[in-house]
Amino acid sequence: MSNKAIFFDRDGIVNYRKVNDYIKKVEEFKFIPAFFETLKITKQNGYLALLVTNQQGIGKGLYTAIDLAIIHNHMQQELLRLTGYKFDDIAFCPSLHEVNDFRRKPNPGMILELIERYNLEPNHCWMIGDSESDILAAESAEIKSILIRESFCKCNPTLRFDSLEQLNRVFSQIIRSV
């Protein structure tokens, strides 16, 4: 069993984010094509691929945990079909932002739970996200972070790239150097 992992945010990294809305059904879920290569590099280098995603649309009553499970099942089947790999585990937090749930990013709860579950070595873990909350959660969990974002962010990631395509060019070298 690997003691190293790449944690991934979902919306904006695995799939296209719906602006001012939520992915509520399978038909709305559209992969970001460059993510396929990111996942392959992760798995081919012996890392666990772990998804950590805030899903406050459940807390708002816009969709259910069952709807989310259907979306994630579809995502996993398609990843396996298209890449030969899938996520090793998925954690989600349905809480509303206002609740300040320890599991909800920017808090580190989901990451810490998975570190414990898989007996991971934090200094061999990375978080890849597109928002400040992803980077803050990584910092709180004491793991390295990669921000994928073209626009300004007040956060301080370990590394920053404008796109997954840009990351993919050097990703193997980055995670092999740990």
Q: How far apart are CA 144 and CA 127, in angstroms?
A: 6
Q: At what angle do helices 109-117 and 132-141 cross, to 10 degrees?
A: 50
Which residue of the set 11, 67, 101, 130 is catalytic? 11
Which residue of the set 9, 67, 130, 134 is catalytic? 9
What 3 state SS string does the chain have? CCCCEEEECCECCCECCCCCCCCCCHHHCCECCHHHHHHHHHHHCCCEEEEEEECHHHHCCCCCHHHHHHHHHHHHHHHHHHHCCCCCEEEEECCCHHHCCCCCCCCCHHHHHHHHHCCCCHHHEEEEECCHHHHHHHHHHCCEEEEECCCCCCCCCCEEECCHHHHHCCHHHHHHCC
Q: Is 134 a catalytic residue?
A: no
Q: Is 11 a catalytic residue?
A: yes
Catalytic residues, by residue number, are 9, 11
